[in-house]
Amino acid sequence: MACGIIPDDEAALEQAIGDLVAGSPTVDVVLLSGGTSKGEGDINATVVHRMGERREGSAGVVVHGVALKPGKPVLLAVVAGTPVVVLPGFPTSAIFTFYEFVAPLLRRLSGVAAPPRGLVEAAVPLRITSAPGRTEYNLVDLVEGRDGLAAYPIGAGSGSVTAFGRADGFIRIPAATEYLEEGAAVTVHLLHAGVRPADLAAVGSHCVGFDYLLGLLADRGYRVKMVPVGSMGGITAVGRGEADVAGIHLMDEETGEYNTPFLPPGVQFLPGYRRRQGIVFRLEDGELAGAGDEALRDLLRAGSRRMVNRNPGSGTRVIIDRLLGGARPAGYLHQARTHHAVAAAIEQGRADWGVTLDTVAATAGLEFRFLQDEQFDFAVPEARWDRPAVAALRGLLDEPVVVEELRALGFLRHATG
């Protein structure tokens, strides 16, 4: 039965749990969500601890905290003979702890065998570091490579709901494993039946303009997947045949030329568009807003404000490292995978500044200081150049309506002659 939401009131919560474990009829299991850490406001854990000590027939709290990531603060107890589970409040943590602890309990109580699970074998295309001493779940995207499936880690936090919406499955890294090497074989637990590779797998740098193009392809019936791993990650993916297209924006520092010097053999160049990168921060930061360009850069290098970085291998990371000139301000290790994530971190006060696109800054209401124009282009394996979805993308880039819409979004299409 669903008992709804209980107010943050210890007496009301204790009454509700007491009615469930001692009422008529009693329930088989009580599940609560959130309030399972040890902070002042986490009353679910407090009440269950107290009831487990006072109620007759209680084994009390059996476990409070497990070696699992995400999902460490889960609480398992028995109150008046009834199992009581307090799941973590973050969605990803709650789902994985339910999978690990609650689902097996429910199957055992009901006598129902576990259903056959969709499992596929894949290889991880990049090194994945794990939390030592803790079993770790990693959500992954699957893309089709020359030698089979590749499982790209999504890298979402325990509070990410959208990660589940886009993930194909997850991998389980044992507690004794400190990392998975690039190319390691893994078993992927599929999140839903019938997972098949997308019609167009885009692996590489994230861009709002590319999001727009992929959205148009989806509207025309193509299944598209975007895996943001940065420009260098995209170059590697197309070189290995793991992607249909990679968005890239890498500048050769010796020549100033964008993207073409980095293409590996067997990969073709598809011209994209120009965009504007710059420093962004909150409007209310008067000191940054009042500083001239050189003074602003000095302030950021001094490290008195927390930054949000980009992932290694991204073109934006190259711009950031050039801007910092070897400085490592607070937040340097906080790496966002997308431009939207940079803006969100600053909007929410988790960081004071970062580098992103002018269009993203305008949408988020952030101050933008121009750093440089750059070219965002596409790399396509020669063997996939004429795939229907790739051909459709190439066609989109030449449609006058699309070119004008890109311009309206702040992206100037290259001449293709």
Domain final position from 179, 197, 215: 197
**For position 156, what pLDDT does the model report?**
58
Dist. CA 66–CA 290, nearest whole Å: 49
- Examine residue 70 and say whether the peptide bond preceding it is cis (omega within 30 degrees of 0): yes
**Residue 230 domain-assigned?**
no
User: Is pLDDT of 281 > 60?
Assistant: yes
| Structural domain containing residue 321 | 275-374
Q: Nearest Cα to 139, choosing from 101, 195, 87?
A: 195
Q: Are residues 131 and 106 in the same domain?
A: no
**Residue 208 domain-assigned?**
no
Q: Are residues 289 and 357 in the same domain?
A: yes
Residues 6+ apart with CB under 8 A from 317: 230, 309, 310, 311
**For position 415, what pLDDT does the model report?**
57
Beta strands 353-357; 246-248: pairing state: unpaired
102-130: average pLDDT:
88
> Are the C-beta atoms of 13 and 47 separated by less than 8 Å?
yes
**Residue 326 domain-assigned?**
yes
| pLDDT confidence band for 9 (50 / 70 / 90) | confident
Q: Which two tokens mark 287? A: 């000191």
> Are the C-beta atoms of 397 and 272 separated by less than 8 Å?
yes
153-175: average pLDDT:
76
Dist. CA 329–CA 308, nearest whole Å: 10
Q: Are residues 285 and 370 in the same domain?
A: yes
Report the chain's mean pLDDT, rounded to a whole number: 90
* Residue % of the chain over a pLDDT of 70: 95
Residue type, 309: N
Residue predicted with more confidence, 315 or 400: 400
**For position 4, what pLDDT does the model report?**
77
CATH of the domain at 79: 3.40.980.10
**For position 42, what pLDDT does the model report?**
79
**For position 160, what pLDDT does the model report?**
61
**For position 55, what pLDDT does the model report?**
86
**Residue 152 domain-assigned?**
yes
User: Is pLDDT of 163 > 80?
Assistant: no
Q: Are residues 348 and 370 in the same domain?
A: yes
> Are the C-beta atoms of 411 and 210 separated by less than 8 Å?
no
**For position 310, what pLDDT does the model report?**
94
CATH of the domain at 151: 2.40.340.10
**Residue 54 domain-assigned?**
yes
> In the chain, what's the furthest Cα-to-Cα distance?
82
Q: Are residues 18 and 99 in the same domain?
A: yes
**Around Cβ 195, how many Cβ atoms within 10 Å?**
15
Domain final position from 165, 197, 229: 197
380-403: average pLDDT:
96
Q: Are residues 15 and 97 in the same domain?
A: yes
Residue predicted with more confidence, 117 or 283: 283
CATH of the domain at 317: 3.40.190.10
Q: Are residues 125 and 161 in the same domain?
A: yes
**For position 337, what pLDDT does the model report?**
85
Query: What does the pLDDT look like over 176-226, one tens digit per residue?
Result: 898 899 999 999 999 877 777 789 999 999 899 999 999 999 999 999 999
> What is the DSSP code string of 38-103?
SSTT-HHHHHHHHHHHHSTT--EEEEE--SEES-TT-EEEEETTEEEEEE-SSHHHHHHHIIIIIH
| CA distance readout (Å), 316 to 71, 152, 292, 319, 356 | 32, 21, 22, 5, 8
User: Is pLDDT of 38 > 80?
Assistant: no
| CA distance readout (Å), 405 to 362, 380, 381, 396, 402 | 17, 23, 27, 11, 5
| CA distance readout (Å), 333 to 159, 309, 381 | 20, 7, 32
**Residue 309 domain-assigned?**
yes
**Residue 56 domain-assigned?**
yes
Q: Are residues 120 and 28 in the same domain?
A: no
* Phi (first) and psi of residue 234, to 5 degrees: -70, -40
| pLDDT confidence band for 36 (50 / 70 / 90) | confident
* Residue % of the chain over a pLDDT of 90: 61
**Count of domains forming the chain:** 3
| pLDDT confidence band for 253 (50 / 70 / 90) | confident
**For position 74, what pLDDT does the model report?**
92
| pLDDT confidence band for 39 (50 / 70 / 90) | low
Q: Are residues 337 and 361 in the same domain?
A: yes
Q: Are residues 172 and 82 in the same domain?
A: no
| pLDDT confidence band for 417 (50 / 70 / 90) | very low
Coil, strand or helix: which one is 350?
coil
371-391: average pLDDT:
95
Coil, strand or helix: which one is 123?
strand
- Distance in Å from the first CA to the final CA of the chain: 66
User: Is pLDDT of 8 > 60?
Assistant: yes
User: Is pLDDT of 37 > 90?
Assistant: no
Q: Nearest Cα to 209, choosing from 197, 221, 226?
A: 226
Q: Are residues 17 and 90 in the same domain?
A: yes
> Are the C-beta atoms of 82 and 98 separated by less than 8 Å?
no
Q: Are residues 104 and 171 in the same domain?
A: no
Query: Residue holding tokens 């420009």?
Result: 231
Domain final position from 197, 227, 252: 197
**Residue 37 domain-assigned?**
yes
Query: Residue holding tokens 């794990």?
Result: 130
265-269: average pLDDT:
96
